[in-house]
């Protein structure tokens, strides 16, 4: 007999109107006095026959509410049943009822989730195709502690928020439900009511593994079927990172590296990149590919730096398993893969994390802590354990699930300082009255410890003098493996933009980086940030006529590859892209048909080969013992000379002439007697230079110079860097 009490009737009405926050308390099987009452909400049903697990009829369910609530009381246990539904259109089908299944989340999972200590968060939260009691379906779980009601809506339930309202685990704010029959490629969102019962904007899944393409923004159920083939690579990676290995990174924006010119100028897919990009990068001698953020993001113009789907490779270039294929293919060719990762902030798009359950859940409520006004974004609340866990688990997700070798952490400075880009009165000090974000510091230290434990490395894009960014956490550092040397990049590019006749007045810009070069594990970045927003291309920033611009750039690259620190070049820099980078179109590959651009490409290839093969150029990057000045004071000639050393005592002598003047009979002190030969000359005709070169062999003389007992005399080519090695 349906609806026997006013209280039950009120609950029926709440379910039918989508206001009930705990439908598991009324729907599904309920044992009452040795009998089982089965209730279900099926708004499209005209009639429902309840059947047992073997398909036998248990009776016609009675309609308890006109909106589609049905119930039937049967004798004994009825935990295994099916619903034979006849719709108002006359169609009949058999369905499992989501409300007869218990939650697959175990007590340990719920405890760790509540404590913010579940580092495999992605295995339990989000959407996962599973089998419960022999029934295939998808388990959905989401964190929304302040919501009154959370429902899964999708193409499997007509986007009706009344159909699959989730179960709340109240101690930790996790909502979950298993929906039978839902499988891969189902489109879904979460529909939430805030604490006052107000319907919020529909939300995508914060842990979705795949997304609908624009203009839609639904999450998609996705299960990986990929079988990795990089066991040897991963086994070798479990060892501690070796700082004496060469790292030369090719930084790439997948959407604009190269486009398919056969039709609509579309970007290449992950699989196409796995052939073309890898082959090119390998040929150019780089050791790693770094990708601008591949996490899902709504706006192309953000280049991925305003992500919403942190757990999903963007669908722009294919499915997640196709991205796995790309990484696997990189490893097969000996290339490491780094992704830019953005834990500093997130966009305000209403379908994302902002006010997720009607409250400032992922962000700070106070705008003095929670807003990046410059970027129009919101700052993660690192002091909330669930948020910190969400981000740390995300970092581990990319390492575990996609075999990523390193994370370049974006905008670290904005995380470290509470007053970052804020005026007085626009920020709140920490508990000690300082401007350090102590919660972010703790988060970054924990992040780096856990990432290193997985055999991966981290790079900090950090532009301030914060001490110990790449020092171990046990010594008080932040624990990053490497730090981008933004000071070196800014100073040297300022120097290179000066007319050579004026460079003698700015000589310190060239040499100052060696004052602090060994304070951190530095990387020398010529990144995408230096070729956008009106800064021009690197070639365009070089002074002089056409010949001098190319010669300046070649000199600069030679100086960079001889300088202590790991290397990074943004795509297009390696062949002197003539125009500023535009994310909406391909690089100017056609310029490689001209000798000057092809010459720069040849130079970068040879610089990479020399850098990776000659130990003195990479082995001791972070210690004083790997570097020694020969002469840094010749500002009138704008010449600098130095020595790079390897642990076995082998050396490379580097000298850069930053003027277009040929300097004959130039004398350099050298650390020992004997002959020297040219390893690389950026003025070689093969690189587009004038072809002026030192003698084939440079015999040292017992003439003291620059503090050394021996010296060599040579001709310095104009606007050129030379690398010299002892003749064996």
DSSP state of 211: B
Catalytic residue among 109, 410, 439, 574: 410
Q: Do residues 359 and 305 make contact, with C-beta atoms less than 8 angstroms apart?
A: no
Residues 6+ apart with CB under 8 A from 258: 268, 276, 277, 586, 587, 589
The 10s digit of each residue's pLDDT in 202-215 is: 999 999 999 999 88
Q: In the prediction, which pLDDT does 264 show?
A: 80
Q: Find residue 695's DSSP bridge partners.
A: none
Average pLDDT over residues 260-275: 90
Report CA-CA distances (Å) from 437 to 381, 385, 465, 473, 491: 11, 15, 15, 16, 28
Nearest-5° Cα angle at 630, 627 to 632: 95
Q: Do residues 301 and 244 make contact, with C-beta atoms less than 8 angstroms apart?
A: no
Only one residue has tokens 């013992």, namely 625
Q: In the prediction, which pLDDT does 1 show?
A: 47
Element (DSSP H or E) covering residue 235 = helix 231-237
User: Of the candidates 603, 518, 347, 341, which has an alpha carbon nearest to the alpha carbon of residue 447?
Assistant: 341
DSSP state of 165: B
The band of 2, judged by pLDDT with boundaries at 50, 70 and 90, is low
The 10s digit of each residue's pLDDT in 38-74 is: 999 999 999 999 999 899 999 999 998 888 999 999 9
Active site residue 185: no
Only one residue has tokens 């398993």, namely 321
Integer Cα distance of 291 and 252 in angstroms: 5
> What is the DSSP track for 453-511?
HTT-EEEE---S--TTTTS-GGGTS---SEEE-HHHHHHHHHHHHS-GGGGGGGHHHHH
Number of C-alpha atoms within 13 angstroms, CB side, residue 688? 26
> What is the DSSP track for 390-450?
HHHHHHHHHHHHH---EEEETTHHHHHBTTTT--TTSS---TTS-SB-HHHHHHHHHHHHH
Q: In the prediction, which pLDDT does 214 show?
A: 86
Q: Do residues 661 and 668 make contact, with C-beta atoms less than 8 angstroms apart?
A: no
The 10s digit of each residue's pLDDT in 10-48 is: 898 999 999 999 999 999 999 888 899 999 999 999 999
Q: Do residues 439 and 384 make contact, with C-beta atoms less than 8 angstroms apart?
A: no
Phi, psi (deg, nearest 5) at residue 449 = -60, -45
Is the per-residue pLDDT at 3 higher than 70?
no
Class of the 231-484 domain?
Answer: alpha beta
Residues 6+ apart with CB under 8 A from 290: 249, 250, 251, 252, 337, 338, 339, 340, 406, 408, 568
Is the per-residue pLDDT at 483 higher than 90?
yes
Among the CATH numbers 2.30.110.10, 3.30.413.10, 2.60.40.1180, 2.40.10.10, which is that of 624-726?
A: 2.60.40.1180
Average pLDDT over residues 109-124: 93
DSSP state of 717: P
Phi, psi (deg, nearest 5) at residue 139 = -95, 125
Q: Do the two domains 107-220 and 624-726 of this chain adopt the same fold?
A: yes
Catalytic residue among 84, 97, 386, 461: 461
Average pLDDT over residues 294-302: 95
Specify the CATH superfamily of domain 107-220.
Answer: Immunoglobulins (2.60.40.10)
DSSP state of 195: T
What mean pLDDT, rounded, does the chain reach?
95
Q: In the prediction, which pLDDT does 373 show?
A: 87
Kindly give the residue spans of alpha helices, DSSP state H, lying in 514-647.
538-541, 546-562, 595-613
Q: In the prediction, which pLDDT does 241 show?
A: 79
User: Of the candidates 280, 342, 272, 271, which has an alpha carbon nearest to the alpha carbon of residue 306?
Assistant: 342
Longest dimension (CA), the chain: 111
User: Of the candidates 489, 597, 484, 587, which has an alpha carbon nearest to the alpha carbon of residue 252?
Assistant: 587
The 10s digit of each residue's pLDDT in 582-640 is: 999 999 999 999 999 999 999 999 999 999 999 999 999 999 999 999 999 999 999 99
Nearest-5° Cα angle at 237, 274 to 311: 60
Integer Cα distance of 273 and 294 in angstroms: 13
User: Of the candidates 531, 656, 686, which has an alpha carbon nearest to the alpha carbon of residue 596?
Assistant: 686
User: 149 burial class (0-12, 13-18, 19+ CB within 10 angstroms)?
Assistant: buried
Active site residue 410: yes
Average pLDDT over residues 264-286: 96
Q: How many residues does the chain have?
A: 728
Lowest mean pLDDT among 62-66, 71-75, 410-414, 543-547: 62-66
Q: In the prediction, which pLDDT does 67 show?
A: 87
Percent of the chain with pLDDT over 90: 93
Q: In the prediction, which pLDDT does 4 show?
A: 63
Among the CATH numbers 3.40.1110.10, 3.40.50.970, 2.40.70.10, 2.60.40.10, which is that of 6-98?
A: 2.60.40.10
| pTM score, whole prediction | 0.96
Q: In the prediction, which pLDDT does 504 show?
A: 97
Is the per-residue pLDDT at 250 higher than 80?
yes
Is the per-residue pLDDT at 172 higher than 50?
yes
Spell out a b/e string for 12-22, using b for 16 or more CB atoms within 10 Å of the CB, else e. Answer: bebbbebebbb
Q: Do residues 510 and 658 make contact, with C-beta atoms less than 8 angstroms apart?
A: yes
Give the neighbor-by-neighbor strand order of the sheet with 69-75: 28-32, 35-41, 69-75, 62-65
Domain ranges, ordered by start, for the chain = 6-98, 107-220, 231-484, 624-726
Integer Cα distance of 676 and 655 in angstroms: 13
Q: In the prediction, which pLDDT does 65 show?
A: 84
Percent of the chain with pLDDT over 70: 99
């Amino acid at each position: 007999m349906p609806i026997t009490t006013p209280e039950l009737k009120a609950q029926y009405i709440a379910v039918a109107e989508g206001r009930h926050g705990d439908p598991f308390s009324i729907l599904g099987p309920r044992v009452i006095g040795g009998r089982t009452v089965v209730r279900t909400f099926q708004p499209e049903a005209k009639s429902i026959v309840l059947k047992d697990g073997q398909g036998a009829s248990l009776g016609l369910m009675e309609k308890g509410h006109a909106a589609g609530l049905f119930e039937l009381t049967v004798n004994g246990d009825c935990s295994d049943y099916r619903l034979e539904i006849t719709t108002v259109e006359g169609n009949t089908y058999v369905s499992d009822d989501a409300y007869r299944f218990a939650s697959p989340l175990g007590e340990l999972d719920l405890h760790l989730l509540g404590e913010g200590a579940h580092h495999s968060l992605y295995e339990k939260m989000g959407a996962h195709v599973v089998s419960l009691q022999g029934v295939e379906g998808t388990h959905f779980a989401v964190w929304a502690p302040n919501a009154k009601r959370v429902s899964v809506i999708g193409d499997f339930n007509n986007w009706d928020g009344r159909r699959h309202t989730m179960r709340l685990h109240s101690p930790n704010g996790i909502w979950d439900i298993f929906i039978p029959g839902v499988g891969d490629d189902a489109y879904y969102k979460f529909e939430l009511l805030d604490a006052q019962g107000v319907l919020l904007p529909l939300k995508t899944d914060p842990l979705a593994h795949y997304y609908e393409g624009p203009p839609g923004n639904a999450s998609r159920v996705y299960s990986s079927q990929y079988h990795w083939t990089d066991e040897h690579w991963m086994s070798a990676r479990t060892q501690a990172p070796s700082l004496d290995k060469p790292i030369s990174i090719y930084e790439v924006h997948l959407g604009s590296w190269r486009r398919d010119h056969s039709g609509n100028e579309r970007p290449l897919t992950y699989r196409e990149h796995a052939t073309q990009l890898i082959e090119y990068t390998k040929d150019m001698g780089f050791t790693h590919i770094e990708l601008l953020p591949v996490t899902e993001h709504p706006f192309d113009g953000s280049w991925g730096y305003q992500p919403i789907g942190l757990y999903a490779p963007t669908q722009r270039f294919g499915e997640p398993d196709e991205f796995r294929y790309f990484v696997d293919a990189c490893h097969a060719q000996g290339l490491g893969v780094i992704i830019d990762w953005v834990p500093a902030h997130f966009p305000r798009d209403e379908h994302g994390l902002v006010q997720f359950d009607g409250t400032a859940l992922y962000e700070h409520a106070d705008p003095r802590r929670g807003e990046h006004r410059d970027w129009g974004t919101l700052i993660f609340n690192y002091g909330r354990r669930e948020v910190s866990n969400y981000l740390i688990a995300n970092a581990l997700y990319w390492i575990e699930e996609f075999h990523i070798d390193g994370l370049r952490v974006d905008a670290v400075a904005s995380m470290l300082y509470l007053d970052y880009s804020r005026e007085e009165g626009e920020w709140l000090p920490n508990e000690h009255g300082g401007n350090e974000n102590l919660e972010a510091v703790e988060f970054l230290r924990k992040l780096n410890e856990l990432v290193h434990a997985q055999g991966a490395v981290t790079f900090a894009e950090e532009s301030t003098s914060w001490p110990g960014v790449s020092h171990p956490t046990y010594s008080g550092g932040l624990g990053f493996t490497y730090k981008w040397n933004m000071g070196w990049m800014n100073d040297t590019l300022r120097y290179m933009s000066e007319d050579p006749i004026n460079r003698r007045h700015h000589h310190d810009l060239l040499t100052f980086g060696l004052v602090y070069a060994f304070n951190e594990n530095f990387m020398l970045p010529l990144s995408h940030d230096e070729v956008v927003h009106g800064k021009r291309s690197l070639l365009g920033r070089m002074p002089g006529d056409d010949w001098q611009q190319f010669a300046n750039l070649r000199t600069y690259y030679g100086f960079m590859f001889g300088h202590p620190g790991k290397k990074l070049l943004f795509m297009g820099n390696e062949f002197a892209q003539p125009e500023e980078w535009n994310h909406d179109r391909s690089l100017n590959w056609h310029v490689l048909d001209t000798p000057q651009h092809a010459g720069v490409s040849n130079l970068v290839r040879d610089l990479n080969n020399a850098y990776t093969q000659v130990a003195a150029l990479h082995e001791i990057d972070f210690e004083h013992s790997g570097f020694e000045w020969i002469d840094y004071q010749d500002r009138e000639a704008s010449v600098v000379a130095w020595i790079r050393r390897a642990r076995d005592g082998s050396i490379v002598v580097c000298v850069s002439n930053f003027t277009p003047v040929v300097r004959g009979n130039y004398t350099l002190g050298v650390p020992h007697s004997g002959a020297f030969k040219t390893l690389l000359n950026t003025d070689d005709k093969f690189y587009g230079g004038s072809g002026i070169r030192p003698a084939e062999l440079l015999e040292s003389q017992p003439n003291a110079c620059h503090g050394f007992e021996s010296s060599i005399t040579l001709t310095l080519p104009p606007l050129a860097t030379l690398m010299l090695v002892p003749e064996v």
